[in-house]
Amino acid sequence: MAVTNEDRMACGVHLSEDLKSVVIVDQRQLPNRTVHLTLNTVSEIYDAIKTLAVRGAPAIGICAGYGMYVLAREKSDLDSQAFVRAMEKDAETLISSRPTAVNLSWAVKRMLARIMENRDRPVPEIVAQLAREATAIHDEDILMCTRISEYGLSLLKAGDGIITHCNAGPLATSKYGTAIGPMILAKERGIELKVFADETRPLLQGARLTSYELEKAGVDVTLICDNMASMVLKSGQVQFAFVGCDRIAANGDFANKIGTSGLAILCKYYNVPFYTLGPSSTIDMSCKSGDDIEIELRDPAEIKTMWYKDPMALPETKCFNPAFDVTDHHLLTGIITDRGIVYPPFDVNLKKLFG
């Protein structure tokens, strides 16, 4: 499959036509408004990632890759030493925006490595190298998402029910997406499935984004509150659980949106196969287990006030708002990657595929 510029431009993150800016769909505005943001400065890119205007581990990586190029382009008139120092500072800033999703640091460090490899060349040549590298990051993700969707679809048959949590579709990745990619690909091929989408509190990515993407694709989707998952699983309407991931450790533990671990426990109880789907870039073989994954804590306002006309709790009420949880590998049936489906023992089989 050859990736075209049309493929890139159709994604929720892409480079502007004049190559000077990163353009994103502001995911905070969906589903009621489709707003595109143009990002040019390190603070704009940082804020877009931090405030979830762009979210989803692969999409964050793509945004960071393009962002490093856009920032480098603005520094083309610097001498080599000053250029490298400035780009190292920008890289540090971008990586600090969100700690859990490995794709962010992976993409930034990949761009920084390209700078270091070419640091003795004229700055405009380095910038040209970065343009190619950022595009390669995007193209690779499009191809990986397509392969992941194919592998996921190989498990499904017409009439199957799937439950998913958070959002791992085209907005969060590229092309088809990861966790809901098989569902969109199935619809393309005339295979009818039934999907249950958890709303995914407190930021409602399942309600605002997953149900939106599946509706637009013509997939039969039913939105449920997070605390309804047990009842749906017990009813026998669900044959598989497909969820995304922000970081997969070497032993198969993985971080995903808060609530994923609870869904995995329910699936284990009701004997529903539970899979996470993610590209190679989310697999962190340097991370031994889920205990080594830093979990981002977010603003209490997301729980108390963000979605309400009036606050839903007293101002003095404390909140605990982790963005992610870690699902233990013992709860996992398999990991669907762009290189194939990995089954237990994960520490052995992940190493075979990913070193």
Catalytic residue annotation: 246
Cβ neighbourhood burial of 300 (10 Å; 0-12, 13-18, 19+): middle
Q: Name the residue among 18, 353, 1 with its Cα closest to residue 9.
A: 18
User: CA–CA separation, 72 vs 116, rounded Å?
Assistant: 13
Residues 6+ apart with CB under 8 A from 102: 57, 246, 247, 281, 282, 283, 284, 287
Cβ-based neighbour number of residue 133 at 10 Å: 18
Residues 183/214, Cβ–Cβ less than 8 Å: yes
Q: Name the residue among 201, 227, 197, 208 with its Cα closest to residue 319.
A: 201
User: CA–CA separation, 290 vs 275, rounded Å?
Assistant: 16
Indicate the helix (H) or strand (E) that contains 302: helix 301-304
User: CA–CA separation, 63 vs 45, rounded Å?
Assistant: 8
